[in-house]
Structure 1
Amino acid sequence: MSGMNAYRDLDTSQWLALSIFASYFALILGLFYVIFARSIRWDSLGSKGWVFLGLTGASFAHTWFYMFRFMQWSFYNHESLIVASQGPLLTRFANWLVNTALFEQAWGAVCFGPFNWWWSEQLCLFTAGAWTVFIAIEGRRHGIRHLWAYMLLGQVVAISVASNLFYLALITSAPSKAKPNVCRLSPMIWGSVLLSMITVGLSPFTSDETFLPNLLVMHALLLAAVLPRRPQEPKALAMRPLVLYALIAVLSMVLRLRTTVAAYLTLPPTTRTPRSFALCAWETLHSHPAQASIGWDVVWTSFSFLIWYFTSMASEQDRSFVDIFNAVLQTAVLSAGVMAPSLFGRHVGIKEGAKKRE
């Protein structure tokens, strides 16, 4: 009877909060369904496909372990701040959702603070830059359906999960002869990407009032870049992928240097060493469950990106131990946000050069 009373006692705002929370998980399930059932060809999986399917499961389990830890922390933190924390669990749960902006709380925890942003910026740069362009180009070339679902899944679940599923879709979808390599990118794509890069650069300078709008604009721009568009788009102001990748690489490098220097200068002058920097970054990674979730998303995303590049894009002469070691080291130091546009751009440049020689 107490459970039924709890349902009857909920007011409109509590029901609305519970509905939004349930809708969030319904959206996740719906996106997984769209991708698994309508975008990936399971009959062409192969051994490499199983690798990325395994990476999908591992990254999802790891990042969402911390995401559920964050929700648990947020609930108990809310309970500790109010006097009346007794009553039915459903009522307390609904009150927590009504009085807590979970999205803003999570992103605030991972963006404010020099070392917090040092971690989070890596994911923002990778997503806003190289990955969006990569989806737009390779998705069209391989005829992959519902590209928007991968971007939206990355935004509501984890970029590592979405990127691994997209790599899986590429593996199971051979390039279409009817859709040759994309030679130009429309202003809608490159404009959205460059504007989203600007929002990444502005993030450390936002206030409590401007932080959320800036973040929402970033997410909206990235989704707009991969929405379906007309088969024949106007070629005016179109940009070569190689040029866009180069711009992204330069912008990402500048932003990473700025963020790294800012974090480094927060260390005590007597302990400003690479070792101290690494220790502080590691401590920050586990300083908050939301930070751990996005931090490990960075790690999984970077790891999967390198595996994809060296198994699917790099030429035979670029797969030596030295090449792989250098790429891993540079990605660890500079981030996937810098290395992805550099390596993807190099791949595009090689293909363009080969095409000219034909």
Structure 2
Amino acid sequence: MVGLTSEEISNLPIHYRSITMFIGYLSLITLFTLIICRTIVSRFIARQKKNDWAHPQRRGQFYIFICLAIASIGSTWFHMISLFFYSYDTWASGPEGQLYSGADVPLFTRMGLWLNKTYIFQEAWETVSESPERVWWSGQIFGWTIGWSLLLGITGRRYHIPHVWIYMLVAQAVSVSFAANLFFAAITVSQRPSATDPLYAWRPALIWEFIPVSLSILDTLAVPIFAYEKGFMLILLAPHFLVFIPCVLGPRGSAAASKPKTSETRQLEEGYRATRRYATSIKWVAVASVALQGYLTYLVVEDFGPDVSYGEIVREVLATVYAHPACSSVSWDVIMCTISGVAWAVVHGFDEGAMLGGL
């Protein structure tokens, strides 16, 4: 193939907008992660100085979730970075890329051409949605996110975690398991909730949580159906936005201030009822997620047909983890979410109230 002349290279467009958006994305997720870490570090220092940990084992729990956060970011973003290289190599081996990806073309120009022609994240989600075996993994991440959004809302309010929505944003932009472990770490270094705190017993009207959660679960079923279709990104982004709603709900300042004072016993009773309601809601989300996973498992078995043994199906589903960098990133996020969720339950002795910040 004939290479480009110096004049043709100099006349190649530099897609500053595409490059700026990509660098801006990486910069923003770094900034938001640092904001979260600042809260965690400041509260850890406060607990160390005052020695007022909410539980004698909290310090050890803090290190557990910090280690899990490191494992989460390492396992998911090793494959995410691999995805960036994979996407570039795919473009470079295509008709246009072969012409423009030579070493004689400046790196900045090549990056702009690649990013301008490639929709990395849309292609990644279409890739993990294109077969039942891949959806078996990718569908689980929606279930984890939906359930965690409820826990994020109530525990974030009770422990006065600032800017709770940032954790959900990091979950969407980085990985759910990474953000969840940072949130768990933030809780372990926070003071124990007080029954006299208005936020301890406050709960929103059920409709404000029921509708976003229900729509998110239904939308999870629609994502693989619309892969490679025109409206795919709209279907994909809908649950990503809906799960923000439970974690940003809270009483207005004036409403909280005007609420009549009640006794500590009454506050404890109201807080207990709020905890029970959330525990029930999360159980129903878990039931819906299990039912959804059962349906996805049925689709996998149907896709392979009756002549394939269950052992072979299991091997193929596990092999899907490394079928593509996008599959690897999502699958490892699911694995780390499972490990982190079990760890959160274990350190609280599987007590629902304790896991939700109850007294």
Give TM-score scaled by structure 1 length: 0.80
Query: Which of 189, 192, 197 is matched with 1:172 structurally?
Result: 189
Deviation at 1:271, TM superposition (A): 2.0
Q: Match of 1:192?
A: 212
Whole-angstrom CA distance in 1 between matches of 2:61 and 2:281:
29
Q: Match of 1:55?
A: 68
How many matched pairs?
312
Q: Match of 1:70?
A: 83
Whole-angstrom CA distance in 2 between matches of 1:282 and 1:176:
42
Q: Match of 1:323?
A: none
Whole-angstrom CA distance in 1 between matches of 2:221 and 2:136:
12
CA contact 1:66–1:293 (8 Å) conserved in 2: yes
CA contact 1:143–1:175 (8 Å) conserved in 2: no
Q: Match of 2:343?
A: 307
| 1:123-176 CA-partner distances (Å, limit 9, x unpaired) | 111102x10101011111111111101000000001110010011011011232
Range 132-141 or range 182-191, more displaced: 182-191
The structure with the larger Rg is 2
Q: Structure 1: which 5+ residue stretches go unaligned?
A: 316-343
SS of alignment partner, residue 305 of structure 1: helix
Query: Which of 150, 164, 167 is matched with 1:133 structurally?
Result: 150
CA contact 1:141–1:182 (8 Å) conserved in 2: no
Task: Specify whether residues 56 and 10 from structure 1 end up closer, same or farther in structure 2 by C-alpha distance, changes over 3 A only.
Answer: farther
Give TM-score scaled by structure 2 length: 0.80
Whole-angstrom CA distance in 2 between matches of 1:198 and 1:271:
30
Whole-angstrom CA distance in 2 between matches of 1:9 and 1:295:
42
CA contact 1:183–1:241 (8 Å) conserved in 2: no
CA contact 2:165–2:244 (8 Å) conserved in 1: yes
CA contact 1:119–1:295 (8 Å) conserved in 2: yes
CA contact 2:344–2:355 (8 Å) conserved in 1: no
Whole-angstrom CA distance in 2 between matches of 1:150 and 1:191:
21
CA contact 2:128–2:327 (8 Å) conserved in 1: yes
Whole-angstrom CA distance in 2 between matches of 1:158 and 1:108:
17
Q: Does residue 289 of the first structure (1) align with residue 310 of the second (2)?
A: no
Which amino acid is 1:148 matched to? W
Whole-angstrom CA distance in 1 between matches of 2:123 and 2:61:
38
Q: Structure 2: which 5+ residue stretches go unaligned?
A: 1-6, 48-57, 257-273
CA contact 1:55–1:304 (8 Å) conserved in 2: yes
Q: Match of 1:327?
A: none
Deviation at 1:63, TM superposition (A): 0.9
CA contact 1:39–1:145 (8 Å) conserved in 2: no
**What is the aligned-residue RMSD (CA, Å)?**
2.7
Q: Does residue 15 of the first structure (1) align with residue 51 of the second (2)?
A: no
SS of alignment partner, residue 112 of structure 1: coil
Query: Which of 116, 123, 141 is matched with 1:105 structurally?
Result: 123
Whole-angstrom CA distance in 2 between matches of 1:51 and 1:347:
16
Equivalent residues in 2 for 1:73-222, closer than 5 Å: 73-82=86-95, 83-84=98-99, 85-86=101-102, 87-128=105-146, 130-177=147-194, 178=197, 179-182=199-202, 186-207=206-227, 208-222=229-243
The sequence identity of aligned pairs, in percent, is: 27
CA contact 1:64–1:293 (8 Å) conserved in 2: yes
